[in-house]
Every structure is written in C-alpha cells, then in structure tokens.
Amino acid sequence: MAKVNAFGRQKGWIEVICGPMFAGKSEELLRRINLLKYSEAKYLLFTPTKDTRSGGKRAKSRDGREFTSISVEKAIDIIGHVNKASEIVQVVAIDEAQFFDEELCNVCNYLANNNYIVLVAGLDMDFDGNPFKTMTNIITVAEKVTKLKAICMTCGAEASFSERLKSAQKKQGGRDQIMIGDIESYEARCRHCHTLSKANPWNFPKLRKAKV
C-alpha cells in the first residue's frame, strides 16, 4: 500500500512548549488551544495546584488570555479526569508542567499512546540552569518541541535563562528549586547576563576567554 497522507493518519503525539520565564509559553499554549474552536476537537486543560499565581483553576497568559483549567496535585490525577470527562476529549493540555512530579512523563506517553494529542508548556531550566527534570524527560520523548526565547532584561539580547533576583531570594525561597513568583522575583536573562550560584557545576577553576 502506498504511504500517502501518512501524517493525517497519525493519532496521538506530544508537543512541548518550553523556554524561560517571560517568553510567552502560556500564551502559545492558549493560542494552540484557542485554535481548536475551529475544529470539533474537545480539550481539557490542567494546571498544578502548586501554581498559586493564577489563583487556581485558571491558566493565564501575559497577553490577557484566560482559560478555565482543572487544578490537580499529582500527575496521575490527570488520567482520572480524562476518563470521567462528560465529553470525549482529543486534546490534553498542561501548563506550568515543571511543577508536576516526574510521573507526568509516563502520563503523557500513556495519553499519546491512546491517541490523545498532548500539549505541554513549562520551564525547561530553573534559576540556576538546572533542568526541571519533569520537563526535560518529556522533551526527550516529544514529537514536537518549541523552545521560545524571551528578551534579556539586562542587555536586550535573546534570553533563555531565568534569573531569580537576590532581593526575592532573601525574602522568600532562598535557593529552593520551586519558588512561585513573577516580575518582582524573576527576570529573563541571556546566558552572559545570567548569574550562576557559586555551587553551580559549570564553574570550573579557570578558563581563558575566547576572543570575540
């Protein structure tokens, strides 16, 4: 049989939208969900209960889009909600995925293997350049990955890093990986304006800088 229109026959898959803070990840996720209104596809949108910024049960983007979401504590809870949804859904979307436990990767694979389209948005790196493992595991198995950039709030270059401001570190979470916050606590930075902690393993004793 000729392999024509093979893409059209594809059913479940995983799409990831990642990048630093202030890059428009939530905006891009909600844009993709919004497009579904032109199709017959139904969706469910999930956010982690840990994300207290949007007041729970809502996913918000910086451009003012706001969608109702189901706030769940554990990744595995997503499966229960999909099963008991009043309508059969085709798309499962997850925002702020970095806050979920590592089981989320298995959940995404299970959904995609059962023909769901899985859209995942979240931070790939924490403030010190460490991977958010839940996200990097999903990036490994995703069919499509979009890595968005922000603008460095120091020099204006493209930014892939998120800087946790010193003032916020003192007041709140110190160097814990999870510390909810917004513009009062974080900035988007390029690699060269981003500050690494003293303990960061990318710091080697000495290296002559390359000529620019």
Binding site for ligand TTP (CB under 6 A): 21-27, 53, 62, 96, 123, 126-127, 162, 177-181, 186
Query: Are β-strands 186-189 and 161-164 bridged in parallel, bridged antiparallel, or unpaired?
Result: antiparallel
Q: Which stretch binds Mg ion (CB under 5 A): 1-9, 26-34, 97-105, 148-156?
A: 26-34
Q: CB 169 → Mg ion: shortest distance, Å?
A: 21
- Cβ partners under 8 Å of residue 161, min gap 6: 20, 125, 129, 188, 189, 190, 191, 194
Phi, psi of 18 (to 5 degrees): -130, 180
In this structure, how many other beta carbons lie within 10 angstroms of the beta carbon of residue 116? 21
Is residue 185 a contact residue for Mg ion (CB under 5 A)?
Answer: no
Active site includes 66? no
Is residue 162 a contact residue for Mg ion (CB under 5 A)?
Answer: no
Comparing CB distances to ligand TTP, the nearer of 179 and 193 is: 179
Q: CB 166 → ligand TTP: shortest distance, Å?
A: 14
- Residue 43's nearest CA partner among 111, 103, 117 is 117
**Torsion of Cα atoms, 198 then 199 then 204 then 205, to 10°:** 60
Is residue 26 a contact residue for Mg ion (CB under 5 A)?
Answer: yes
Q: CB 8 → ligand TTP: shortest distance, Å?
A: 31
What is the radius of gyration, based on Cα positions, of the chain?
Answer: 19
15 binds, among Mg ion, ligand TTP, none (CB under 5 to 8 A by kind): none
Comparing CB distances to ligand TTP, the nearer of 12 and 24 is: 24
Which residues are catalytically annotated? 96
